A and B are shown apart, each in its own frame.
Chain A
Amino acid sequence: MPLADLTQHGAHVMTVCNACRYCEQYCPVFPAMEELRTFGKADLAYLANLCHNCGECLYACQYAPPHEFGINVPKTLAQIRVQSYQDYAWPRALGVAFTEHNLLTGIALAATFSAILALTARTLSPIDHMADFYAVVSHNVMVGVFGGVFLFAVAAMSVGVIRFLHDVRQNAQSSAWGLTRGQTPVLFRDILTLRHLHASGVDCVSAEEHRTPWRRWLHHCTFYGFLLCFASTTVAAIYDNVFGWRAPYDYASLPVLLGTMGGIGLLVGSLGLWIQRRRRDPALTDKTQHGLDESFLALLFLTTLTGFALLLLRHESVMPWLLVVHLGTVLALFVTLPYGKFVHGLYRAAALWIAR
């Protein structure tokens, strides 16, 4: 749908909802909507990012298809959400990535980076049993490339979220930035427990009569798995740069333990979410976003899989090949962070903050 039409359609949907209001108990989208009378682009971006796509309101709606108003809030907000990722992307030109993602782009990027690393590697021939990663890719290259890409990703995503907050806050009722003592725990609970996927004690829907906790639990596996892996990397970076303890680390060391736990979460979570999203009622989602979702899940899965392979086979002769493939996949994941599904969590947290 062209942009002007999407904004217009979103405004129409929200106008119908605002005149009805039967869904106001479901989630923060509807109370936030009730504060508004007209719905501009920034308002819609805000409401769309508040939506967790639990799907409950579609099945409750008396104006859902085949009604002539044809209201489908989860799907419309999903479309607006991706548009908002694109609009707030920095640099703006790269926002186009949000609509062009597919499984192939993610895997091809990983393959390309792996190939480049393989071509520039110091050696790919079997080395001794020391599992010396830096003999394959030098310490400086690793720190430089990954540190640089990581810092760029953080900067790009920060610009996007700040611009989103700025735009939305101009219209939102609350103008204060600060959180009161009571709001802080509620906000963090809502974000960290995905409360709005089981707001009233009922799990989010997979189909009209089908409510399951799986989507939430699998998301928790993925999210906390990602955090544990991030913690593992951070601990390893401190070991390396502060204490001078070089990788590889023992199986019983903190980085390996954190990474293993996180990795299990990521494998289970990303695979489970993949299966789960294919089983959900297609009416709830925007089918043009399959590529965006699946390429992110695939990169998470492949990063973890190659990570485990490297961990288990690091003393074997294939180690250099496994290392370049793992690093190439991680690089692809990092490069696409600001231009892929990852950003949903940032914008949603920002929207929840405004809605508090």
Chain B
Amino acid sequence: MGIEVLYDAEVVSIDVRDGVFRSVRLQAGDCRSVRLEPDLRGKALILASGGFESNLAWLKEAWGDAADNFIIRGTPYNTGVPLRVLLDAGAQPIGDPRACHAIAVDARAPKFDGGIVTRLDCIPLGIVLNQLGERFADEGEDLWPKRYASWGTLVARQPGQVAYCLVDAKTVNSFMPSVFPPIVANTIPELAVQLGLPADRVSDTVARFNDAVRPGAFNLEVLDDCHTRGLTPEKSHWAQRLDAPPYWGYPLKPGITFTYLGLRVDETMRVMRTDGAAMQNVHAAGEIMSGNVLRRGYIAGIGMTIGTVFGRIAGESAARAAR
């Protein structure tokens, strides 16, 4: 179709004045030789560059020092330059700068690009403790796919942005294997020591949890009736006593998939300015404009759907603008 794709090229600045896009400046090449390309002029621009999840400084602006303990699940290159440039050029932001799709990943994951294999889906099967050895959220609120994108933020709000998931021998084969081996011990205090947690407090938390577990019929297929009574917070489903050694522990950290802060658009995907007018020929599609769509939850495939639907509208609109 005569479309040229530039690989290994990064947008360093965009010329947008008074809501009109003129050109984009690129830096191309690999780590050995970077060169500044001549400015690319155009009649219309579509931004599809997502959030700023790998921009550690920007994350720190939003989250403070807690951001130092975040793991970035994807590429280190998604630094949100186009988003920043447009915000500076008078585009209207949308969404909370702190809001993001973040899951609980294994704390041993690499800082960037650990991808899918570092996620841990044992949370509904066990209990999750913070650094102090205390539970802080309902592990059994819903099954993993539905609660997938909430545990990152939950862990991010704990001291040191770290948490520990504990399961016992009854459930070790009920969740997807993780790429990192579990930390294994035959008693709860031993496991606590190995995880670097206060053993007395952990033993106490587990004992109180075990006492609070009500008998029920364990069934991972439904929201079953295994729950606790008398705890804060309760575990509302799949609550089973932790009493079958060996015990397995996994350290957890928040793993950011993508951030939600974006640009407000009109119904033709033109980027809106702070004064309420739409930019003439600047369009946005995908995660860079969907911060409000994804505010409360996430279902599998929604990111692809957003990209496809709004990408198509933005394409049509940009084609009209370029005519």
Contacts and interface: CB of A to CB of B under 8 A. Distances in A.
B116 A15 contact: no
B115 A62 contact: yes
Nearest to B179: A19
Q: How large is the interface on B (under 10, 10 to 19, 20 to 34, 35 or more residues)?
A: 10 to 19
B173 A19 contact: no
A18 B119 CA distance: 12
A258 B231 CA distance: 81
Contact of A19 (B110, B113, B176): B176
A16 interface: yes
B178 interface: yes
Q: How large is the interface on A (under 10, 10 to 19, 20 to 34, 35 or more residues)?
A: 10 to 19
B117 A20 contact: yes
Given A15-B177, A19-B179, A68 B110 contact: yes
- Majority secondary structure, A binding face: loop
Interface string A33-76: 00001000000000000000000000000110001100000000
Contacts of A16: 117, 179
Nearest to A38: B177
A21 B113 CA distance: 17
Interface in A1-45: 15-16, 18-22, 37
Q: Among B176, B178, B179, which residue has the most Cβ atoms of chain A within 10 A? A: B179
Contacts of A18: 177
- Majority secondary structure, B binding face: loop
Interface string B117-128: 110000000000
A8 B118 CA distance: 19
A22 B116 contact: yes
Nearest to A18: B177
B156 to A, nearest CB: 22
A37 B173 contact: yes
Contacts of A68: 110, 113
A67 B179 contact: no
Interface string B155-188: 0000000000000000001001111000000000
A20 B110 contact: no
A188 to B, nearest CB: 33
B179 A15 contact: yes
Nearest to B117: A19
A167 B118 CA distance: 32
Contacts of A67: 113
B109 to A, nearest CB: 11
B299 to A, nearest CB: 18
B177 A20 contact: no
A21 B173 CA distance: 16
Contacts of B178: 19
Contacts of B173: 37
A24 to B, nearest CB: 12
B125 to A, nearest CB: 15
Interface in B95-136: 110, 113, 115-118
Nearest to B115: A62
B34 to A, nearest CB: 17
Contacts of A62: 113, 115-116
A149 B284 CA distance: 72
A275 to B, nearest CB: 31
Q: Among B116, B117, B173, B176, which residue has the most Cβ atoms of chain A within 10 A? A: B117
Contacts of A63: 115, 117
Interface string A169-180: 000000000000
A20 B116 contact: yes
Contacts of A15: 177, 179
A15 B182 CA distance: 13
A122 to B, nearest CB: 67
B118 to A, nearest CB: 8
Nearest to B118: A19
Nearest to A61: B115
Contacts of A20: 115-117, 179
A37 B177 contact: yes
Contacts of B179: 15-16, 19-20
Contacts of B118: 19
Nearest to B178: A19
A22 B117 CA distance: 10
Nearest to B176: A19
A258 B179 CA distance: 53
Contacts of B115: 20, 62-63
Nearest to B113: A67
Contacts of B110: 68
Q: Among B110, B115, B173, which residue has the most Cβ atoms of chain A within 10 A? A: B115
A231 B118 CA distance: 54
Given A15-B177, A20-B115, A37-B177, 20 more contacts: A16-B117, A16-B179, A19-B117, A19-B118, A19-B176, A19-B178, A19-B179, A20-B116, A20-B117, A20-B179, A21-B176, A22-B116, A37-B173, A62-B113, A62-B115, A62-B116, A63-B115, A67-B113, A68-B110, A68-B113
Interface of A: 15-16, 18-22, 37, 62-63, 67-68
20 contacts: A15-B179, A16-B179, A18-B177, A19-B118, A19-B176, A19-B177, A19-B178, A19-B179, A20-B115, A20-B116, A20-B117, A21-B176, A37-B173, A37-B177, A62-B113, A62-B116, A63-B115, A63-B117, A67-B113, A68-B110
Q: Which 9 A-B pairs have the closest CB atoms?
A: A19-B117, A19-B179, A20-B117, A62-B115, A18-B177, A20-B116, A16-B179, A16-B117, A19-B178
